[in-house]
Amino acid sequence: MSTLAGLLAGAWARASGWLAAVGAALALLLAAYVTGRRDGRTHSEAETMQRALRARETRDEVDRAVDRAGDPAGELRRDWRRP
C-alpha cells in the first residue's frame, strides 16, 4: 500500500507542474474570450447608436422639408379662382 502511495505522490509531483501550466493557459484563454465578447458587444452597441443617429437625422431632415413645403391645401385655396 505504501508503494502505491509513493507512486501516486511521485506522479502527482510531476503532473502538478503540468496541471498548473494547463490551468494558467486555460485562464488566459478564458480571459481573452471574455474580453473579446465585451469588446464585440461594445462595438455592436456603438454601431447600433450610429444607425439610430443616422435614422434620426434622416427623419429630422424629412420633417424640416415638410415644414418648409407649406400647406398644399392652403395654396390651392389661395390660388383658386372661379372661371
28-68 confidence digits (pLDDT tens): 999 999 999 999 999 999 999 999 999 999 999 999 988 88
3-state helix, strand, coil in the chain (%, to 5): 90, 0, 10
Please give the tally of structural domains in the chain. 1
Residue 16 domain boundaries:
2-68
**Is 21 among the domain residues?**
yes
Q: Is residue 73 part of a domain?
A: no
Q: Is the pTM of this model over 0.75?
A: no
Q: Is residue 75 part of a domain?
A: no
Query: Is 35 a member of any domain?
Result: yes
> Phi then psi for 71, rounded to 5 degrees?
-105, 110
SS3 51: helix
Q: Is residue 30 part of a domain?
A: yes
Residue 77 lies in a domain: no
Residue 26 lies in a domain: yes
